[in-house]
Structure 1
Amino acid sequence: MIQIVDKIELMILTGYTDAQASKLIRKAKQKLLQDGFEWYGNKKVGRVPLKTIEDILGVELSAKHDIINPVLEDTVNE
């Protein structure tokens, strides 16, 4: 199931301010619009998929325990 987050949940998960969380929501909506999800063009929509936020930030957010786990791409553990 897709996890959807709003500004308040982003503030809790990341520790970002109100303005920073709002900016993240706007960026996520722009990204979703570019991907063809026209519904996110509505100004009243304030919730976006958590996966989109994670893609923008480059980190994995765990809403279950409020823990942020870094996502390291192109790395190998030896």
Structure 2
Amino acid sequence: MISRAFNGQHGRAYLFDGVVNVVEGEPNDRQMTTGNHTVRDIYCVKCGQTLGWKYDYAYEPSQKYKEGKYILERNLLVDVQ
């Protein structure tokens, strides 16, 4: 995990270099609080639930560090035992 200091549409979110057991949706542009980004939603490979998104491109130079990284929204994750 890179950072816990993110917010998603459903509350707290975490930034990761990589994630597993997800499939990626189609890219689309979104206006976010930190500027315009090209992102793709990521879904659980087993149940299809939306878990967050992947940053493909950041239009703002200060946000380039997010490119290729993933956001997982805490409230969309389920603890599995």
Normalising by the residue count of structure 1, what TM-score does the alignment of the two structures yield? 0.30
Which structure's residues are more often strand, by fraction? Answer: 2
Normalising by the residue count of structure 2, what TM-score does the alignment of the two structures yield? 0.29
